[in-house]
Amino acid sequence: MSDYRKGFYMIQSIEIIKLHPHPHNPRKDLGELTELSDSIRERGVLQNLTVVPQAPGYCTSCSLFIRGAGKCKEGHDEHERAPCSKWESAGGYTVVIGHRRLAAAKLAGLTELPCTVVEMDERTQVATMLLENIQRTDLTVYEQAQGFQLMMDMGETVDTLAEKTGFSMSTVRRRLKMAELDQAVLKDVAARQVSLTDFDRLAQIDDLETRNKCLKDIGTRDFNQSVETQLRKQNIKKMLPIVKAAIKKLHANKIERSETYGGKYDQIVRRYFRDWNGMDPLVPAGETRKLFYYLDEDYGEVQFFVERPKAKPVKRPQEEIEREKRIAEAWAALKEKTAVSYNLRAEFVKGVAVSSRNMADMLKGATTACALHVISYVSTYDDRNTVFDMLGIDHEKYDPDTTHKALKALKEFGGKVIPAIIYAALGDSENNGYGSGYLKSFPEHKRNENLDALYDWLVSLGYQMSEEERKLRDGTHELFKAQKGSGNDEEQTE
């Protein structure tokens, strides 16, 4: 906004009929004008509008024809979009700063307004409007994205855009990433309570079409679940060629899923892509037996088998084999959805800060965790190590002062680690869910009071359970319906 002050500017009173809104004003909705109009009617306009003169002898576009601004000598269709050199200006001005004041003044019945007339090129005009509105938080995320993209279309770069608007280059890139999204959907969802953190999370999805699908859920309780699911699929897609290359080096033979259910093979390793760093061996070092593998590209896992010592062959009915296949698929889907739900809970806790408003809920969670420890010993060795990691304590080697160091670190960190420690004490994991049963039968719903208590605490802190999580909790999920009417399955175990 300081650019125009280096050049020509003057202050004068201009007739309202000669003042026209800027066609590239990033703020599309001027909001409620009644209160401002009443103030202007009573006290007048206290702050000058900033305007630029419309260039005489040039029509920016006859489709922008405004009565009183001038006339076109060409006589062509006023809706024609092509620039016209036959335009005769009537001394009109384009508003750069003050669109709300202009609209409110018209409602108040004013006939002229105080204006600062400046010289400013079109790029600087857009940058000025953009900065003016963003500094006052007047723009929606949709309008911010539109404004930054417009300046890029005018030839700006990320560097120059950051310099002109005062934003960091990372912020500019984030806004431009938003501009790639489906603009119609973005405009619809902009009215929701959406944070830029949500858009940053959305930007982690590489595929634009998938990003736009998740955009429809932004600002709803299903958004995190939607993004987490797509990020897991994205990770599987990225890891797939690496896994295949590693399998190829093992000279393992591929088998079908149905072959994993019979008695021909024994499983020796099961690897999930998300848990594999791409460098560790897929099978234990020193394994010399002939290897067979089944690769599940949908759920991102690979299983390795060796041939079981031959026994008397037993022919199994095809119906039984197909049933086992469906059961395995149901368990794989349930495991995936349970893991996604776990990740959502874990990510939520990372963002929780202790305050006077939620201290009672924090203490409630701590009390619940302690009670569960006494009753059911839910805390595991991994939970203990997780707490040590958060406090920066080395737990790989024995140290008689470990507990002392942990307590000292806890005092230094203060409230910042309380939510995470309570969460670790509650013993959550990727296997903590509502499924039960023998792996040769369809999954059945079971009560999980420990997980219920965890969810109740998280919800009290502001966590929003997705529809998927609710159905898994109350047993109405379709995965638990598959076993109904399927006959007597093998005995269920907890």
Q: Which CATH number is correct for 138-220, 1.10.10.2830, 1.10.10.1100, 1.10.3720.10, 3.40.640.10?
A: 1.10.10.2830
List, in sequence order, every residue forming a beta bridge with 49; answer none if it has no partner: 115
Rg (CA), the chain: 32
Burial of 160 (C-beta count, 10 Å sphere; 0-12/13-18/19+): middle
Amino acid (1-letter code) at residue 204: Q
Burial of 464 (C-beta count, 10 Å sphere; 0-12/13-18/19+): middle
Contact 266, 305 (CB under 8 A): yes
d(CA 276, CA 243): 9
Of 175, 178, 189, the C-alpha closest to 211 is 178
Q: Which two tokens stand for residue 332?
A: 């794989």
Residue 171 — very low, low, confident or very high, per pLDDT cuts 50/70/90?
confident
Task: Note the pLDDT of residue 134.
Answer: 64
Give φ, ψ of 206 to 5 degrees.
-75, -45
Percent of the chain whose pLDDT exceeds 70: 79
Of 256, 299, 255, the C-alpha closest to 430 is 299
Strand pairing of 292-296 and 253-254?
A: parallel
Amino acid (1-letter code) at residue 11: I
d(CA 308, CA 207): 43
Q: Which two tokens stand for residue 410?
A: 């806890």
Higher local confidence (pLDDT), 9 or 246: 246
Residue 156: HSE in the Cβ half-sphere, 13 Å Cα cutoff: 27
Task: Note the pLDDT of residue 422.
Answer: 80
Task: Note the pLDDT of residue 3.
Answer: 41
Of 366, 422, 361, 434, the C-alpha closest to 390 is 422
Residue 11 — very low, low, confident or very high, per pLDDT cuts 50/70/90?
confident
Residue 471 — very low, low, confident or very high, per pLDDT cuts 50/70/90?
very high
List, in sequence order, every residue forming a beta bridge with 254; answer none if it has no partner: 293
pLDDT of residue 296 exceeding 60: yes
Residue 269 — very low, low, confident or very high, per pLDDT cuts 50/70/90?
very high
Mean pLDDT of 469-491: 73
Amino acid (1-letter code) at residue 99: H
pLDDT of residue 58 exceeding 50: no
Q: Which two tokens stand for residue 334?
A: 């349930």
Q: What is the 3-state secondary structure (H, E, C) of the chain?
A: CCHHHHCCEEEEEEEHHHEECCCCCCCCCCCCCHHHHHHHHHHCCCCCEEEEECCCCCECCHHHCCCCCEEECCCCCCCCCCCECCEEECCCEEEEECHHHHHHHHHHCCCEEEEEEECCCHHHHHHHHHHHHHHCCCCCHHHHHHHHHHHHHCCCCHHHHHHHHCCCHHHHHHHHHHHCCCHHHHHHHCCCCCCHHHHHHHHCCCCHHHHHHHHCCCCCCCHHHHHHHHHHHHHHHHHHHHHHHHHHHHCCEECCHHHHCCCCEEEEEEEEHHHCCCCCCCCCCCCCCCCEEEEECCCCEEEEEEECCCCCCCCCCHHHHHHHHHHHHHHHHHHHHHHHHHHHHHHHHHCCCCCCCCHHHHHHHHHHHHHHHHHHCCCCHHHHHHHHHHCCCCCCCCCCCHHHHHHHHHHHHHHHHHHHHHHHHCCCCCCCCCEECCCCCCCEECCCHHHHHHHHHHHHCCCCCCHHHHHHHHCCCHHHCCCCCCCCCCCCCC
Strand pairing of 301-307 and 292-296?
A: antiparallel
Of 108, 102, 68, 103, the C-alpha closest to 88 is 68
Task: Note the pLDDT of residue 301.
Answer: 93
pLDDT of residue 119 exceeding 60: yes
Higher local confidence (pLDDT), 395 or 350: 350
List, in sequence order, every residue forming a beta bridge with 293; answer none if it has no partner: 254, 304
Tokens 């489906």 sit on residue: 182
Model pTM? 0.53
Q: In what order do the strands lie in the sheet with 265-272?
A: 253-254, 292-296, 301-307, 265-272
First to last CA, the chain: 68
Of 76, 125, 129, 126, the C-alpha closest to 99 is 129
Mean pLDDT (the chain) is: 79
pLDDT of residue 13 exceeding 60: yes
Of 360, 493, 352, 376, the C-alpha closest to 427 is 376
Burial of 26 (C-beta count, 10 Å sphere; 0-12/13-18/19+): buried
Fold of 8-57+90-135: 3.90.1530
Task: Note the pLDDT of residue 234.
Answer: 93
Q: Where are the domains of the chain?
A: 8-57+90-135, 138-220, 237-306, 318-349+362-426, 435-480
Contact 27, 99 (CB under 8 A): yes
d(CA 387, CA 419): 11
List, for residues 120-159, the tens digit of each pLDDT value: 888 788 878 877 776 665 566 667 777 778 778 777 888 8
List, for residues 75-101, the tens digit of each pLDDT value: 545 444 444 544 445 568 899 989 989
Contact 95, 21 (CB under 8 A): yes
